Amino acid sequence: MSISRLCVTVFILAALVPAALAQGPTLAATPPMGWNSWNHFAGRVNDADVRAAADALVSTGMRDAGYIYVNIDDTWEGQRDAQGVIHTNDKFPDMKALADYVHSKGLKLGIYSGPGPKTCAGYEASYGHEVQDANTYAGWGIDYLKYDLCSFTQIMRQQAPHDQQKQLELMKAAYEKMHQALLATGRPIVFSLCQYGWDDVWTWGPDVGGNLWRTTGDINDTYQRMADIGFGQLGLAKYAGPGHWNDPDMLEVGNGGMTSDEYRTHMSLWAILAAPLLAGNDLASMTPDTLAILTNKEVIAVDQDPLGKQGDRAFAVGLTEIWTRPLSGGAVAAGLFNRDQTEHPVTLHLRDVGFSGHAKLRDLWRHEDVTAANGSYTVTVPAHGVVMLKITP
């Protein structure tokens, strides 16, 4: 059998195999954790930056805390050769060697493309070359693909002007095409859909092979934008679970635009939301406070809880909100959030979160046990801050 016919045969067989079986039942069994280059480096990122990020994940203890993906965002792409194979640009002289280096650190490497002709930054994307690109990524040793809609919107409008349903079908087909191409490689590659939450992607993301999907537009390093995105996830919990996660975008912790209380709110809310934890800061220049927030093992354990149930809002009174998440073993995580610009007392009634009798309370940021009195716990929450509890029967 010729190589080309063999590739076609493998592709067809893979298309007939359920995604969970083909890529393994444990792929993204918990929300992916790692680092992405965009928030800090944007289009400046290069090979040396990625190697330094891998080194820092190890030396700071972030790898051991669970951050294992080192994800290159846009601007790595060069040109295609006469056979249509994508090559890297001068910033990334040898992607296979880079992947080998990242893997040698006990980490995984992620990359970026999109279903349109061009990426968001105007570089070569995967339109018409999905199978080639998937094979190239697998050959390099890529473990994660972020697939950003961008220029494919032009194709949607051209092929289905004024027909939103047809445009949706085109978009779903574009993501499914890359999903099948990834499956056919035989390499487990996490598939991250980036299309900004359009058309209720959480209702169809798993059907096109998504392990995670963006639920919003881009985050930025301000409290207002972070809060709008995070608290705006209300009602999406039922769409998440092992292997498929709602993604409210990357972490901004440590980039300098928020206070420590605001970053703790960011980290706590993302953990309750079972969100991917993809750090977006300069790992080489972290303050001890930033590192402590990112590596809080008790908060990370909530995000990575094997039950895989996303949390949701339980109560809201004025600018204070309580969000809860069911955890394995009958425990519950509770975030007591204060969205006001002045501190406020917040009271958690145990009966309101499913505990009729005594329960053990653990403050996950103070790393100490606290005590409920008469079935409730009252605590002063700082401005734009959070008190995060684990409640155990």
The single residue of 49, 133, 143, 148 carrying the catalytic annotation is 148
Active site residue 207: no
Largest CA distance in the chain: 75
Active site residue 148: yes
H or E element, residue 108 = strand 108-113
Cα separation of 24 and 275, whole Å?
Answer: 21
CB atoms within 10 A of CB 282: 18
Three-class secondary structure of residue 242 per DSSP: coil
The single residue of 55, 218, 340, 352 carrying the catalytic annotation is 218
Q: What are phi and psi of 156, to 5 degrees?
A: -60, -45
Q: What separation, in Å, do the N-terminal and C-terminal C-alpha atoms of the chain show? A: 62
Q: What are phi and psi of 202, to 5 degrees?
A: -65, -20
- CB distance 244 to 25 below 8 Å: no
DSSP letters, 181-238, are: HHHHHTS--EEEEESTTGGGGGGTGGGGT-SEEE-SS---SSHHHHHHHHHTTTT-GG
- CB distance 145 to 113 below 8 Å: yes
Active site residues: 148, 218
